[in-house]
Amino acid sequence: MIIRRVASPVGALSSVVPSSPVVNSLADRILGPLGKVVTVDKTLAQGTEPISVNLFSFTGPFRLMELYAIVTEATEAGDCDDAFFNLYDGTNVIDLSDDQSASGATLSNITVGSVIGLNNVATEDMFFQKSDQARYLAAANIGSALWQRGLVVAKNGVTNYVRFTYDSAADSALDIDITFVMVYAELNGLASGIAAVTA
């Protein structure tokens, strides 16, 4: 698990900045509020549908700034679809992108270096930029901001999760390695208890 402080400009991947107690610098005012980055490596494989993968656990509220993933290995990627990000508190599933009831995102035949992530509207599919050619995804393609930002509140007294859910009905040999990245900010010093789920 890697956690570091970053400044997160709208419409761009996070830029790393040095940790500093100064939060009113010119860079902070230009680039936006400081956040933290947590990453986790996961392998997508065949299983009982729908397949949900716990990415990050949390126990308190936080501001979600960015959530995306980069494919690092695609040994077998023929069938991976109905994909979406969601929150899970042990009982309730809260969609962060369009879910399987509206088919979710199709990631079949995804290639190494492809990027998926939340766009700025929770009722739309996550964005999927396949690395089979050079591509550019501008904020104007999906709305006023590239990254969906919002407030996440945890169910009190339990461990909550940020999850990735998908189907793989036709491909028993599904094998995709992917690094998930979440940029977040804690609220007024409140502990969020965010951690990568490595198991």
The amino acid present at 129, given as its one-letter code, is Q
Residue 1: inside a domain: no
2: confidence class by pLDDT, cuts 50, 70, 90? low
Residue 105: inside a domain: yes
Residue 56: inside a domain: yes
Non-local (6+) Cβ contacts of 86 within 8 A are 52, 93, 94, 95, 96, 97, 99, 162, 163, 165
Residue 29: inside a domain: no
| pLDDT (tens digit per residue) in 137-169 | 776 544 445 566 789 999 999 999 999 998 887
Number of domains in the chain: 1
Residue 48: which of 167, 161, 170 has the closest Cα?
Answer: 167
Cα dist from 21 to 8, 27, 149, whole Å: 17, 13, 24
Residue 2: inside a domain: no
Q: Which of 14-28, 35-49, 54-68 has the lowest mean pLDDT?
A: 14-28
Average pLDDT over residues 107-111: 84
- For the chain, give the percent of residues with pLDDT over 90: 36
Domain carrying residue 148? 39-196
Residue 34: inside a domain: no
Residue 137: inside a domain: yes
Residue 174: inside a domain: yes
| pLDDT (tens digit per residue) in 66-75 | 899 999 998 8
